[in-house]
Structure 1
Amino acid sequence: MSLPDAPWRHRPGLDRLAAALGPGTARYVGGAVRDTLLGIGVTDLDIATTHSPDRVVELLQGAGIKVIPTGIAHGTVTAVSSGTVVEVTTLRRDVSTDGRRATVAFTDDWREDAARRDFTINALYADPASGELFDYFGGLADLDARHIRFIGDPLQRIAEDHLRILRFFRFLARFGDTPDPAALEACTARANDLMALSRERIRDELLKLLVAVDAVRVMRLMVERAILKPVLPEIDLAGVERLAALVARETEAGLPPAPIRRLAAVLPPDIALNDAAGARLKLSNAERQALASAIRPDLAEGPLPLAYRLGPERAADRLLLAGDAAGARDAAGWAPPRLPLTGGALIERGLSKGPEVARALRRIEDRWIAEGFPDAARVAQLADAVVAELLSGG
């Protein structure tokens, strides 16, 4: 069986990179192989090689290919060939692990390299020239069955890297049909191991999971199994139902999923609880603000005024969570206009520089919004009226 042809296989410089490493010494691996077999578009490219990291650098530089030693101590370099970016990693085997990081040794054994990967569907390799596929642990059959299965003993694989618990559910939400029973039981039994992980790693996996195609079903399974309880006890079945309703509204509105919006759905609709969870997940300030904004109940002015004040994205988030799919669609597709008036124009009308001008602009803007963003001629009339009110003491 061979890897199907795909646009990414014709990226500039890719053949030159493979030729520099030499025939039989390098194979595409992981997501590019998996996603091509599924007919999914490929972004990131990874190559595994039998060459040592130093030899990789020597060969690629000798071929005029730029090499960045992004993780050379762990066997990985980033190659840039005619603008095409590829991660090139020497075959590895684990020497020791502590649940968060691994000490590795380099090897020339392809099966050893495959054995240290997490899931069977991620341990598929393809020859760059012929496309010949190499499958050491039944990944092709699992991929065909949409079966997410650990390589080897699930409990051991989780002990090596606790993040694999969340990765299992993320891959189940993206690629899976039914969960592997042994994997599911192992993840359930070791859920408390998540407490040893950095919150940044948990955040990254959770946000990716929330936008996966089958996020609702998998989040429900995770809540029923208390997977997230050690790190996010706020998420319960009510949150999963809110997520399901949100997903339906996103579909109705024709809007793509957004991770912070979906996180706002699964967390309780309480700003303080949301902010505490956001802080625990090490969200950025902008993400925490978006999380809080999404659940505020203020919708009185309507979709377009809301989009003007908050921005289209935040307005769409709030409207979707509040149940207004049509309003969210209108807000997301709207380009807010600029108020066609300056402070200088108000000074020309007789106002003094300073707070009075700012106060006048706010009044005019509020009336402009309330009237549905009329044209400059109407704004000039509003300005005349507001200036007259202020000059008369109103």
Structure 2
Amino acid sequence: MALTLPAAEWRTRPGLDRLGLALGADDGGARYVGGAVRDTLLGLPVSDIDVATIHAPDEVVRRLQATGIKAIPTGIAHGTITAVTDGTVVEVTTLRRDVTTDGRHAEVAFTDDWRADAARRDFTINALYADMSGGAIHDHFGGTDDLATGRVRFIGDPLQRIAEDHLRILRFFRFLARFGDTPDADGLVACTARANDLMALSRERIADEVRKLLVARDAVGVVRLMVDRGIFRPVLPEIDSAAADRLAGLTGAELAAGVAPDAIRRLAALLTSAQAEGVTARLKLSKAQRKRVALALGRDEAMAPEELGYRIGVEGAVDRLLLGRDVAAATRLSRWERPVFPLTGGALVERGLARGPDVARALRMVEDRWIAEGFPDAARAAAIADAVADQWLRAVSNP
């Protein structure tokens, strides 16, 4: 019995029927492909919609424009047009086959051969197509069976597929963490043998894959597997068995606290404070991400959770508490709204202090007392300011 795509919310989005008509989908001119098909078969939500078509990119543009669909040439050299139809955004890509590959980039030629397009994709579960109207599934390499058994399997020879694109090593483990139950033996052997190929990749691409891996369903188990197989060693030797243990502890704390998994927090768990600056710089994380890792791995002197949240921010404090396995405090703080200090330096000037550095120092004293008292209301903050200003003025007048 032929397999068909189940009903799903995304399949009824506005404009998809018009897009299918423009591309001749009912005559085999276009099909849904990739993640939307895979995730729908698994009952998972779908955000991005991709369509594959037999039509050359210029013909795709012509057909879309003739039907009143906006066509944006986002990647036209590689066959990709972004179609915007009634507010729905779809990536439309011409069928391709690889001409040459160097482990990082591929030169492609356009084709009208669906099997050739499927053959250049990495894993069987990513090479599934579905008719745009009836939803009939087209599966050239057994991807539906692999989905059913939780198997992430390369299409063709794993060593050759890795030689074509070294990033497929990390993608193998990311998809294993998200969808897999048991690693495909041939794929695992090939990734282990070619782990040094990761050194040819940009650190940005590595960082992107690692972040996606860390929030996957079985991130802990797969990170342990990668450590055991030496996958990280060429590019992230800091990730070792102790790092995997820390990640396991964090994921347990997140679950107990009811806090959603977060890639940057989990990356922090893999590092020590001594390693953080070097690794986050090597991965070319943003300044905000690097600061967050540093805050998560920082130390504080017996500071109450709310004070910590006020001083470094709720996000950073929750990260630090979860890394420290303080589930109760992290749970409480995750629901806490950081108060706003109700005074400015002008309040102390009004109380007689001269403008300048003394005001800033006195204001910090007021704020410290306000924090110590548990963030009282504005009236109490004003009373604290009165007391500090009086103390400060008496000290100035009686040096």
Q: 1:7 aligned to 2:25?
A: no
Moved more, 48-57 or 325-334: 325-334
> Paired residue for 1:343?
345
Contact residue 299 and residue 306 of structure 1 kept, 8 A: no
Q: Deviations over 1:136-166 (max 9, x none)?
A: 0000000000100000000000000000000
What is the correspondence of 1:311-330 to structure 2 with a 5 Å cutoff?
Answer: 311-330=313-332
Q: Deviations over 1:247-274 (max 9, x none)?
A: 000001100111111111112x233x21
TM-score with structure 1 setting the length: 0.98
> Paired residue for 1:270?
273
State the distance in 2 between where 1:202 and 1:129 align: 37
Q: 1:165 aligned to 2:169?
A: yes
State the distance in 2 between where 1:255 and 1:114 align: 39
Q: Deviations over 1:75-99 (max 9, x none)?
A: 0011111111110000000011000
What is the correspondence of 1:155-234 to structure 2 with a 5 Å cutoff?
Answer: 155-234=159-238
> Paired residue for 1:39?
43
Moved more, 137-146 or 6-15: 6-15
- Which of 308, 312, 317 is matched with 1:310 structurally? 312
> What is the count of residue pairs matched by the alignment?
392
TM-score with structure 2 setting the length: 0.97
> How far apart are 1:345 and its partner, in Å?
2.0
- Which of 155, 158, 162 is matched with 1:154 structurally? 158
What is the correspondence of 1:1-394 to structure 2 with a 5 Å cutoff?
Answer: 1-22=3-24, 23=26, 24-267=28-271, 269-271=272-274, 273-298=275-300, 300-393=302-395
> How far apart are 1:343 and its partner, in Å?
2.1
Q: Deviations over 1:75-129 (max 9, x none)?
A: 0011111111110000000011000010000000000000000000000000011
Q: Secondary structure at the match of 1:86?
A: strand
Coordinate RMSD, CA, aligned? 0.9
Q: Secondary structure at the match of 2:92?
A: strand
State the distance in 1 between where 2:87 and 2:332 align: 39
State the distance in 2 between where 1:191 and 1:154 align: 13
Structure 2: state its 5+ residue gaps.
none
- Percent of matched pairs sharing the same residue: 67
State the distance in 2 between where 1:25 and 1:90 align: 10
Q: Deviations over 1:163-210 (max 9, x none)?
A: 000000000000000000000000000000000001110000001101
AA in 1 matched with 2:376: P
Q: Secondary structure at the match of 1:274?
A: helix
Q: Secondary structure at the match of 1:108?
A: coil
State the distance in 1 between where 2:313 and 2:66 align: 50
> How far apart are 1:299 and its partner, in Å?
5.2
